[in-house]
């Protein structure tokens, strides 16, 4: 049914255009063709933005909505690492950043950057694990100027 109605889809840099067959749409919805011109098309236009995520490209609708298939592995890995490292510190398994970096087999600078994510609000943490966040959210965006205020973090979602 859909393949008969949708004639073509055009994705431009800033717009999504969907061309529908007027005759097929009328036939499926009303059971009859209302127009004598069977080549008439209905055009739907939606402003979009395009965001690259590694090798994937995400289309973001003008309302900011972007349906995610699955959580983003790099974000999930980073927030889970931060929580684990925070637990190590609280439990006394590591005493400072040097020990943490050595135990995790990472450099100190990277460990410091990721450890900041231990301060994520529970809502943002859950949103990242579920993949229910802004498609523009990346590890570097998240760690660049992470606010400790959970209300400000809510805006990053």
Q: In this model, does residue 119 exceed pLDDT 70? A: yes
Give every strand in the sheet of 41-53, ordered side by side: 6-11, 15-21, 41-53, 56-61
Helices (H), the chain: 2-5, 22-30, 73-91, 97-104, 108-115, 122-130, 139-144, 150-154
The helix, strand and coil proportions of the chain, stated in percent and rounded to the nearest 5, come to 45, 20, 35
Q: In this model, does residue 53 exceed pLDDT 70? A: no
The predicted-structure confidence for 8-41, as pLDDT tens digits, reads as follows 999 888 888 999 998 888 888 888 766 667 778 9
29: number of CA atoms within 13 Å, CB side?
9
pLDDT of residue 100: 95
pLDDT of residue 8: 93
pLDDT of residue 154: 65
pLDDT of residue 76: 94
| Mean pLDDT computed over every residue of the chain | 84
Q: In this model, does residue 117 exceed pLDDT 90? A: yes
The predicted-structure confidence for 64-111, as pLDDT tens digits, reads as follows 565 555 788 889 999 999 999 999 999 999 999 999 999 999 999 999
**What confidence tier does 155 reach under pLDDT thresholds 50, 70, 90?**
low
pLDDT of residue 68: 58
Instruction: State how far the Cα of 115 lies from the Cα of 105, in Å rounded to an integer.
Output: 14
Q: What is the pTM of this model?
A: 0.62
């Amino acid at each position: 049914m859909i393949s008969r109605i949708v004639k073509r889809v055009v994705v431009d840099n800033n717009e999504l255009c969907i061309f529908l067959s007027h005759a097929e749409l009328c036939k499926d919805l009303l059971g009859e063709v209302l127009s004598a011109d069977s080549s008439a098309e209905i055009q739907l236009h939606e402003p979009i933005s395009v965001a690259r995520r590694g090798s994937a490209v995400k289309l973001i609708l003008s309302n900011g909505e972007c349906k995610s298939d699955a959580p983003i592995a790099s974000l999930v890995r980073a927030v889970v690492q931060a929580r684990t490292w925070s637990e190590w510190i609280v439990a006394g398994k590591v005493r400072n950043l040097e020990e943490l970096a050595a135990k995790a087999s990472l450099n100190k600078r990277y460990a410091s950057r990721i450890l900041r994510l231990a301060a994520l609000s529970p809502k943002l943490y859950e949103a990242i694990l579920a993949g229910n966040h802004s498609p523009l959210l990346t590890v570097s965006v998240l760690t660049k100027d992470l606010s400790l205020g959970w209300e400000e973090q809510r805006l990053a979602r």
